[in-house]
Chains A and B, each alone.
Chain A
Amino acid sequence: MTTEIDRQWTTRLRKRVVETLPPDKLLPDTQPAYVASWIYVFGVTTLAALAIVILTGCVLAMKGPLWWHLSGTGHFVNSLHLWSVEIFFFAMVIHLWGKFFMAAWRGGRQLTWITGVVLFLTSVGAGFTGYVSQTNYDSQWISTQAKDGINATGGGAFFNVLNLGQMLMWHIVLLPLAAVALTAVHVIYVRIKGVVPPFEEGK
């Protein structure tokens, strides 16, 4: 017999969450034995790099967009931000190659694959808006070049790459939010479904 408490939205949501992702799936203590290759480290490396990118970005955000031109410390934090981004893309691309060759979408893992691809695009967008928000010659050149590509798609009508304020907002608010939310979905899906098992051989 269902009680009033059982029918509450909160109760139902909690039961649903715990059923889909019980704590031992969210934070597992064992892993299938086939997960034994260096190729598996690039997912977590990408995540770690994202954490450093966000952390260094937050330090830059605290002091404002021009700080890094004017202070040695600021320039160093900018260097940390740049190199963590390079590591982030580096690891993400190897992660993508690895997952492709494992056909990691098998067994109902398509959503993990798609969120991964969308995350890659979001990251390219975040990287791009970062480059045009640098407030130096590089951002002047990149924005005046990239405007033609974006305008050609019609996107220029609402996404003006020459508008620093707009690009900076996308770079430090909208795209990071999207990236973090998608990463959460991506990782949670990996935890729910587990790591894709090997192909069956000899059949």
Chain B
Amino acid sequence: MGLTELFGAVFNLDHVGRYIHWGFIQLSVSNAIVIGLMIAIFIAALFLPFPGRRSRREGK
């Protein structure tokens, strides 16, 4: 197997993308996914409990 096949994409994105039209907003689905993930991860980071702070509670 040549390097080209080895390093070829699992998902081929080399085709014209889909676009979201919402009022004056035009957004590629890929960008929407990236932005959506960013917001989701930001919110998750705020809400998910942070591990490994047991010592402090014990010390209380």
Q: 16 extra interchain contacts, Cβ-Cβ under 8 A, other than A73-B3, A75-B4, A75-B7?
A: A33-B53, A33-B56, A36-B53, A36-B56, A37-B45, A38-B44, A38-B45, A38-B48, A39-B45, A41-B45, A42-B45, A72-B3, A72-B4, A72-B8, A79-B7, A97-B42
Whether A72 touches B7, Cβ cut-off 8 Å, given contacts A36-B53, A38-B50, A90-B34, is: yes
The 6 closest A-B pairs by CB, nearest first: A72-B4, A76-B7, A38-B45, A72-B3, A39-B45, A36-B53
Q: How far is the CA of A94 from the CA of B39 in the complex (A)?
A: 8
Per-residue A-contact encoding for B40-53, CB less than 8 Å = 1, 0 else: 01101110101001
Q: How far is the CA of A174 from the CA of B4 in the complex (A)?
A: 32
Alpha-carbon gap, A56 to B5, bound state (A): 20
Considering the complex, give the chain A residue whose CB is closest to the CB of B41. Answer: A94
A interface, how many residues as a size bin? Answer: 10 to 19
Write the nearest CB–CB distance from A162 to chain B, whole angstroms. Answer: 26
Distance from A43 Cβ to chain B, minimum over Cβ atoms (Å): 12
Contact with A along B3-41 (1 / 0, CB 8 A): 111111100000000000000000000000010011001
Number of A-B contacts defined by CB within 8 Å: 46
Chain A nearest CB: distance from B39 CB in Å? 9
Q: Are A94 and B50 in contact (CB under 8 A)?
A: no
Say whether B50 contacts A36, CB under 8 Å.
yes
- B contact residues around A97 at 8 Å (CB): 42
Taking beta carbons and an 8 Å cutoff, which residues of A are in contact with B? 33, 36-39, 41-42, 71-73, 75-76, 79, 86, 90, 93-94, 97-98
Chain B contact-residue range equals 20 to 34
Query: Known contacts being A33-B56, A90-B38, is A73 close to B7, with CB within 8 Å?
Result: yes
Check if A72 sits within 8 Å of B42, measured CB to CB.
no
Question: What is the minimal beta-carbon distance from A203 to any residue of chain B, in angstroms?
Answer: 22
Q: Which residues on the A side are within 8 Å of B2 (C-beta)?
A: 72
Q: A39-B45, A41-B45, A98-B45 are in contact. Are A76 and B3 (CB under 8 A)?
A: yes
Q: Name the residue in A38, A39, A73 with the highest tally of chain B Cβ atoms < 10 Å from its Cβ.
A: A38
Question: In whole angstroms, what is the CA distance A93 to B46 when docked?
Answer: 15
